Structure 1
Amino acid sequence: MIFYDYEVFKEDWLVVIKDTATQSEAVIVNDSDKLKKFNEVHEDDLWVGYNNNHYDQWIHKSILCDLDPYETSKAIIEQNIPGWKISNLFRRIKMFNYDVMIRGDGGLKSLEGFMGSNIKESDVDFNIQRKLTQTEIDETIKYCRHDVEETMEVFLHRKSDFEAQMALAKLPHDHLELKYLSKTKAQMAAIVLEAKKQSRTDEFDLQFPDNLEINKYTEVLEFYRNPDNRNYSQKLTTMVAGVPHVYGWGGVHGAKEKYIGDGYFINMDVTSLYPSLMIQYGLLSRSIKDPKKFKEIYDTRVKYKHEGNPLQAPLKIVINSTYGAMKDVSNPLYDPRQANLVCLYGQLFLTDLMEKLEPVCEIIQSNTDGVLVKLRNEDDFDLIDDIAWDWEQRTHLSLEFSEFKRVYQKDVNNYVMVGTDGHVKTKGAWLKKLNPLDNDLPIINEALKRFLVDKVPPQQTINDCDDLEQFQQVCKISSKYKTLVHNGEVLNERCVRAYASLDADDGGLFKQKYSTNRLEKFANSPKNCFIYNGQVKGAKTPRKLDRQYYIDMVNDRIRAFGMIPPGEWYQGDLWEHTGGLMM
């Protein structure tokens, strides 16, 4: 396994390569012969990088084909030309690539910021139009080496993804083919299911399931029957079971906003809703050679999951990728009519279920594949269970029950639920469990969760913490912006860590737009902040950290949940007595 990263200038190029087998490093600067010799030895190895599927592999192939890597780099970055289109010569180069980048990443620097690493940029301008000096080359090598090491760190955090992809690459022919490691999950699903690309012109040729029973909320049916609504911009906003719902062509969701409640709640999730609909109602892509293969994969995955067999992971990828691939015009699984039917059936069956449940319980929220209800008393469980069983028999779908005793719900996308067994379920950016690759303002999530679940005042969580990493806000500008500006100085970095400051001499963080040169305050950043881009692991909070800024942020989020933060308006035990509910 080879980890690598290229840096390309007008007159120079270099690559840093780390071989995990020999634990050795190779640094090659402007020496195509040396690179060719290295490649001959390692052409059967797996080359791992960050964004290498899009960029680095094409630089590598350009040099091996005696093409100018700078021109290739410009074509990819400035003209947005896919690397494979640049030259037919690239097809002759055997190279097995694995990219640790996943969709939604903000770039390697953002991940480095989340991981607490040094995110200082190189002092060497990548737009230099002359030969680099030796000092500049040395600096660039140091910078490039750092990125390779950080890529290795990201890989370790995503090792389970790699292992699943490795197992997935074995499925088509029962043996590992490294060429499949550079494929996306959706591409691999098409390969495993032996899909053949076909032209489709019946995207909105829809029908309704015969076993559907909606008698009260017929406006939902009328919305989807109306030909004028058969485009993806159309939505229906309506009340279902006393809850505002939004229906569209991507799913249904509805929730009582700012809802807080104690009692007996049941969350009913449809087991593998979309895969189940595809199997039960023949809604798989019509491009699949043998639909039975999908069911075999599904059944095998269920068996492996119950056994704790790790081979369930690649099968899960195939199952979960198939629906999305049906909307991808470049994927052999492309079949938008079937995808629309899957989504339509799911929404209608969920509405059907809510209509049956409404008379006997309170609907708290619904989402694409489930509904949360509150029982009026625990004796109603058998009644709810009977309704669910009847619905399951009619629809051929299965429901999984989870029991909760307390719910704090800002909206359908942000909530905390405390289970009857004490486990906590959260959803939303404000409450999700963070990790080393998604670690923005962790102290805020922790303080909000501790307050909602355990009634711990935010100031206690924040004032007791002296770990600087917990207060980090990773700020990165997009390609629309030229630079970041702090205290009137243009920063060398495009990605920084910002912290609220008590020092009045610390100004705000701004970004300068290319089109207008105007400065815009970085969204949601402190009015006064200091920047710390060095290694933050183990760093302690300085005295100038403005802890009240973070307390106020948590209190604002508490209010958004419909509660009053502790200490704002009570005497004695009044807040404790009301539990913080908005009166």
Structure 2
Amino acid sequence: AASSTVCVFGQMALFDLCRELYNAGYKLVNANTDGIAFIDPCPDNPIRYDRSYDVIWHEWEEKWGLYLELDTFAKWYQKDVNNYVAVYPDGKIKVKGQDVNKYHFIPEKGQHKLFSNNNLRIVHIALVEAIVYGKNPVDVLSEHMQEPELFQYVLRAGRTYQGVFDKHDNEMQRINRVFACRKPEISTKLYKKRADGGLVNFPDAPENMYVYNGDLKDFKDFGKIADFNHYLRIIRKKLDSWGVVVL
């Protein structure tokens, strides 16, 4: 009950902030439990509104006993309330949502931040770079062909399953790293086996899989084995859902 009360209180407070900003002439583009995103239609006009957003902001804090932080972005790209890409004035990128949340480029190091979960991360990278820079996904895939960790699927079976088995009923590890494979003669398919012996597909996994559980630094044939068209199809489908067209 206490958590519900806090949730309702927060929603009421944010709704009040949305109303004040809207009535002052600001265009609201996103509102969720984390905060509000709005656009200033005329940022260079010193006499913009009867009440500027910073006045509304501090009045709201005093009224509700809550405190806000302000982020300013030069560009804002949004699929829906839970998926967006925002670009700071200095060019750094902030992402949120299951489509893009594995994109974290560190400009000063010229590299992507390492993740404990790199599952299908190349899709997130290609999606963000297409949205922000208009980069062709084919070029993104080509640039990262020597980084197999970005293309991996990590497939695992929980303790309620007997384990993971391949299409020939050979038992595999409980956690496996697989890649979309372009060569049917060396590909396989992994399944989760239920307690009753029934097989369950891994959702969204490639039909033709190449299993590689060794050190990825030793995966020398990745470029010859991986089916890059598989990843490209996923990226283009995601871009279509964002309403982005890349030539």
The TM-score bracket by the shorter chain reads 0.7 to 0.9
Match of 2:194 in 1: 513
Superposition map of 1:118-157 within 5 A: none
Question: Which residue of the other structure, out of 139, 149, 155, is the alignment partner of 1:469?
Answer: 149
Equivalent pair of 1:498/1:532 in contact (CA under 8 Å): yes
Superposition map of 1:188-337 within 5 A: 203=1, 337=2
Equivalent pair of 2:165/2:172 in contact (CA under 8 Å): no
SS at match of 1:357: helix
Equivalent pair of 2:167/2:191 in contact (CA under 8 Å): no
Report how far residue 457 of structure 1 moved: 1.0
Matched, 1:353 2:17: yes
Matched AA of 2:8: L
Match of 1:238 in 2: none
Match of 2:65 in 1: 396
Question: Which residue of the other structure, out of 181, 184, 188, is the alignment partner of 1:504?
Answer: 184
Matched, 1:409 2:88: no
Superposition map of 1:96-115 within 5 A: none
Matched, 1:560 2:224: no
* TM-score, length-scaled by structure 1: 0.37
Match of 2:6 in 1: 342
Equivalent pair of 1:346/1:369 in contact (CA under 8 Å): no
SS at match of 2:78: strand
Structure 1 unmatched runs, 5+: 1-202, 204-336, 568-583
SS at match of 1:489: coil
* Cα distance in 1 between the residues matched to 2:218 and 2:81: 37
Match of 2:230 in 1: 549
Report how far residue 538 of structure 1 moved: 5.1
* TM-score, length-scaled by structure 2: 0.84
Question: Which residue of the other structure, out of 532, 549, 552, is the alignment partner of 2:212?
Answer: 532
Matched AA of 1:460: D
Matched, 1:376 2:41: yes
Q: Deviations over 1:153-204 (max 9, x none)?
A: xxxxxxxxxxxxxxxxxxxxxxxxxxxxxxxxxxxxxxxxxxxxxxxxxx4x
Q: Deviations over 1:485-527 (max 9, x none)?
A: 3242323311111101111232332222213x22222111101
* Cα distance in 1 between the residues matched to 2:169 and 2:198: 14
Match of 1:442 in 2: 121
* Cα distance in 1 between the residues matched to 2:99 and 2:218: 24
Matched AA of 1:438: N
Match of 2:163 in 1: 483
Match of 1:454 in 2: 133
Q: Deviations over 1:337-371 (max 9, x none)?
A: 3x333222211111111111113111111121310
Report how far residue 385 of structure 1 moved: 2.1
SS at match of 2:225: coil
SS at match of 1:348: helix
Would the alpha carbon gap of residues 542 and 514 (structure 1) be closer, same or farther in structure 2, given more than 3 Å must change? same
* Cα distance in 1 between the residues matched to 2:11 and 2:126: 35
Q: Deviations over 1:81-139 (max 9, x none)?
A: xxxxxxxxxxxxxxxxxxxxxxxxxxxxxxxxxxxxxxxxxxxxxxxxxxxxxxxxxxx
Would the alpha carbon gap of residues 424 and 376 (structure 1) be closer, same or farther in structure 2, given more than 3 Å must change? same
SS at match of 1:399: coil
Equivalent pair of 1:509/1:525 in contact (CA under 8 Å): no
Which ranges of 4 or more aligned residues in structure 1 deviate by more than 6 Å? none
Matched AA of 1:496: N
**Cα RMSD for the two superposed structures:** 2.0
Equivalent pair of 1:469/1:537 in contact (CA under 8 Å): no
Matched AA of 1:482: Q
Structure 2 unmatched runs, 5+: 105-112
Would the alpha carbon gap of residues 403 and 470 (structure 1) be closer, same or farther in structure 2, given more than 3 Å must change? same
* Cα distance in 2 between the residues matched to 1:456 and 1:533: 32
SS at match of 2:131: helix
